[in-house]
Amino acid sequence: MNGNAAPNKSRKEQLMTEKLHVVRNQKDTVFRMLFREKKELLELYNALNDSAYNSPEKLTIYTLENAIYMNFKNDSSFLLDSELNLYEHQSSYNPNMPLRDLVYIAKQLEKYTRNDTIYSSALVKIPVPRFVVFYNGTDVQPDRQTLRLSDAFEKKTAEPELELKVLMLNINFGHNKELMDKSRTLREYAQYVDRVRKYAKLMRIEEAVERAVAECIKEGILEDFLSSQKAEVIAVSIFEYNEEEEMKKIRASEYREGKAEGKAEIVAIIRKKAGRGLDSEKIAEILEMDPDYVKRISDLLVEDPDRSDLQVAEILVGQKEPQ
């Protein structure tokens, strides 16, 4: 590939950047803070595709409606040279990414073809979709793997008529060395996350993050980024870590699904998020849980705020009926 792309933004590209509903109460992850600028995003694209684009202004960034993971905006989505790229950062393995991306891409293509008629005899051209997940969770995952929509089909078929593939890359420190060598920003991000996690085992998360930030600045790791946005990076890093810990509790409780103790952990997390003003639908989206199940828990909490987490859990497993 080369660095030649159409320099002018077309009407279709303008449509892609229009937001249907802007979510203003969500935070960027540190990953997205790093790659929300065109220069760094183009660097990452070139590293992934062995390309040599050198004009960031030819890249058109847009944000998907409701592309939320936990409490964060986590997508970096853009058009470049007739390719529609969706990059997502995940700190926990999610086998449902192909299905989620199918919903996302359908919405965006609907916007992209708004001024065209798909019922005419003329072929309506669309950009080439590309889907990549950058994973840096603590569960063991290979350097790279392909997630397929067809894996979710209830009935297996040799040649699925609808398919969507998502490339999942492990960007933890020590993984995907060739990719890291091509993108300094990605490599130094992995180093920063590794230090935060290492120190979090030895001290409070607040102290761990501040120590990691100070050391990285001193050693030239993400130096400009951390120096210019130090306070925000520290706050977001702490929040990210705490949210990851909550997700771990939910995953662990899934192994004890039939026990009240396991459900009580889920109730506690839902209570906490409801206390932040989130409704049950948004909580279910963030936690990737069944909306009806989350609403049932929310209703029980509203019905009697004095119920303990365990009491609510006992009602859920049928050990006690609502009083």
The per-residue pLDDT for 54 is 92
Are 300 and 242 in contact by the 8 Å Cβ rule? The answer is no
CA-CA-CA-CA torsion sign (182, 76, 266, 257): negative
Instruction: Give Cβ neighbours of residue 269 (< 8 Å, ≥ 6 apart).
Output: 246, 249, 250, 287
Higher-scoring residue by pLDDT: 67, 187? 187
The predicted structure's pLDDT at residue 40:
93
- Given a cut of 90, whether residue 52 has pLDDT beyond it is yes
Residue 194: its pLDDT value, please? 95
Per residue in 163-181, pLDDT (tens digit) is 999 999 999 999 999 999 9
Highest mean pLDDT among 25-34, 47-56, 233-242, 267-276: 47-56
Residue 262 confidence (pLDDT): 65
According to the model, what pLDDT value does residue 261 have?
65
Higher pLDDT, 319 or 214: 214
Residue (of 250, 306, 303) closest to 273 by Cα position: 250
Closest to 56 in 3D by CA, of 72, 42, 71, 70: 42
Task: Share the mean pLDDT of the chain.
Answer: 82
- 311-323 confidence digits (pLDDT tens): 888 887 764 444 4
- Helix, strand, coil distribution of the chain in percent, nearest 5: 50, 15, 35
pLDDT tens sequence across 249-273: 555 555 445 566 667 778 888 888 8
pLDDT surpasses 70 at 87:
yes
Considering just the CA atoms, what is the radius of gyration of the chain in Å?
Answer: 22
11 pLDDT band, cuts 50/70/90, is low
Q: Which two tokens stand for residue 252?
A: 């662990």
Does the pLDDT of residue 285 top 90, yes or no? no
pLDDT (tens digit, 9 = 90+) per residue, 134-146? 999 888 899 999 9
Residue 126 is predicted with a pLDDT of 93
Distance CA 26, CA 17 (A): 19
Q: Which residue has the higher pLDDT, 269 or 98?
A: 98
Q: What distance in Å separates the CA atoms of residue 195 and residue 208, rounded to the nearest whole number? A: 8
321's CB contacts (< 8 A; 6+ apart) are 315
